[in-house]
């Protein structure tokens, strides 16, 4: 066994370098051709049944509007029933012929089962479950008063999406459907003062990448990485300190349109705004440099503001 590992230690770096120089350019060319091909394709979602969690505001609300404009049927899920009623009525006015609301909490497994059961009971099928519900918590990890307070973040951000997907899979196999999960740029880039939030989004990324392998080709999975978007969630202290017009904040309607277009093109990953993918490339190629920049930003801007509170 020692000989095997020693041989791999020597051979695999050589193979990887050879692959990078000889085959990677062809891989990029193929990716470019596929990208250009997808620009001329768009899934027709008219009559498709779409379940959206966290649909009472933010990205979920505006993605619902994009689907409604194309004639999809909607099942809107969130805890705030009064807000869901408003979103549902707007969706009907935009072009959705059938919209239902299902109030509930994605952190409760029995509610997640109810979301799927009521959707199937009403529409008879499910095509696109969009796992969007999530919360942000900004706190320096060592400053937790009770470490178990972190459980709620994982319950909503991670388990909520996995519960719903679990109950949706049998129905998605029938429709050859697609699972969409809204993660975050924090799944790929460490976000100071949001360690548990970042962990919950990274857990979503790895879980759904694994699930994609298990469910392919019956069910497709699209993983979305939004940046800083102008929603109710972008009001934690580290953003409040610099105002709601933070330079990199993207309007939620623009973000939702980009997500919807990516879903219809059949993208496996959607970075919105798209320039974020180049930050991920830099992080993978030069992780120490990105970490140094984040460390400097944290100690220069974020840490002092938290210490004042």
Residue pLDDT tens, the chain, 309 long: 688 888 888 888 888 888 888 888 888 888 888 888 877 788 899 999 999 999 999 999 999 999 999 999 999 999 999 999 999 999 999 999 999 999 999 999 999 999 999 999 999 999 999 999 988 878 888 888 888 888 999 999 999 999 999 999 999 999 999 999 999 988 888 888 888 999 999 999 999 999 999 999 999 999 999 988 876 655 554 444 444 455 567 889 999 999 999 999 999 999 988 888 888 888 888 888 878 777 777 676 665 555 555
Q: What angle do CA 73, 78, 84 make, to 5 degrees?
A: 60
Among candidate residues 163, 138, 167, the one with its CA nearest the CA of residue 153: 138
3-state secondary structure of 161: helix
Instruction: Tell me which residue of 241, 243, 216 sits closest to 230, measured CA to CA.
Output: 243
| Inter-residue contact 227 to 245 (CB < 8 Å) | no
User: What does the pLDDT read at residue 303?
Assistant: 59
227-231 contacts: CB < 8 A, separation 24 or more?
227/185, 227/255, 227/272, 227/273, 227/276, 228/185, 229/58, 229/59, 229/255, 231/57, 231/58, 231/59
DSSP 199: H
Its pTM stands at 0.86
Half-sphere exposure of 17 (CA within 13 A, CB side): 5
| Active-site pick, 163, 197, 238, 298 | 197
How far is it, in rounded angstroms, from Cα 3 to Cα 129?
A: 49
Beta bridge partners of 181: 131, 223
pLDDT tens per residue across span 73-131 = 999 999 999 999 999 999 999 999 999 999 999 999 999 999 999 999 999 999 999 99
Active site residue 197: yes
The residue with tokens 């976000």 is: 191
Are the C-beta atoms of residues 253 and 58 closer than 8 Å to each other?
no
> Reduced to 3 states, what is the DSSP secondary structure of residue 268?
coil
**Of 288, 106, 295, which is closest to residue 192 (Cα–Cα)?**
295
Cβ contacts of 146 within 8 Å, gap of 6 or more: none
d(CA 185, CA 7): 37
CA angle 167, 171, 176 (to 5 degrees): 125
């Amino acid at each position: 066994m020692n000989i095997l590992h020693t041989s791999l230690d020597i051979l695999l770096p050589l193979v990887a370098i050879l692959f990078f120089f000889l085959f990677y350019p062809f891989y990029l060319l193929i990716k470019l051709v596929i990208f250009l091909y997808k620009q001329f394709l768009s899934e027709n979602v008219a009559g498709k049944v779409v379940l959206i969690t966290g649909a009472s505001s933010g990205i979920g609300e505006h993605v619902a509007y994009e689907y409604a404009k194309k004639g999809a049927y909607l099942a809107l899920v969130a805890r705030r029933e009064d807000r869901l009623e408003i979103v549902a009525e707007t969706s009907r006015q935009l072009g959705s012929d059938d919209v239902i609301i299902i109030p509930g909490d994605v952190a409760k497994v029995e509610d997640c089962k109810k979301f799927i059961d009521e959707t199937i009971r009403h529409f008879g099928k499910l095509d696109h479950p969009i796992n969007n519900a999530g919360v942000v918590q900004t706190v320096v990890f060592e400053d937790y008063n009770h470490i178990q307070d972190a459980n709620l973040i994982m319950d909503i951000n991670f388990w909520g999406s996995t519960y719903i997907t679990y109950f949706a899979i049998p129905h998605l196999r029938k429709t050859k459907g697609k699972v969409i999960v809204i993660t975050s740029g924090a799944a790929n880039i460490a976000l100071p003062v949001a360690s548990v939030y970042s962990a919950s989004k990274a857990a979503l990324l790895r879980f759904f990448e694994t699930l994609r392998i298990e469910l392919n080709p019956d069910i497709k999975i699209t993983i979305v990485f939004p940046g800083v978007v102008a929603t109710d969630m972008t009001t934690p202290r580290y953003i409040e300190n610099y105002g709601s017009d933070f330079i990199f904040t993207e309007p939620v309607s623009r973000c939702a349109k980009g997500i919807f277009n990516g879903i219809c093109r059949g993208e496996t990953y959607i970075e919105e705004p798209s320039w974020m993918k180049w930050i991920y490339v830099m992080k993978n190629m030069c992780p120490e440099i990105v970490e140094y920049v984040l460390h400097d930003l944290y100690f220069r801007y974020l840490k002092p503001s938290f210490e004042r509170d």
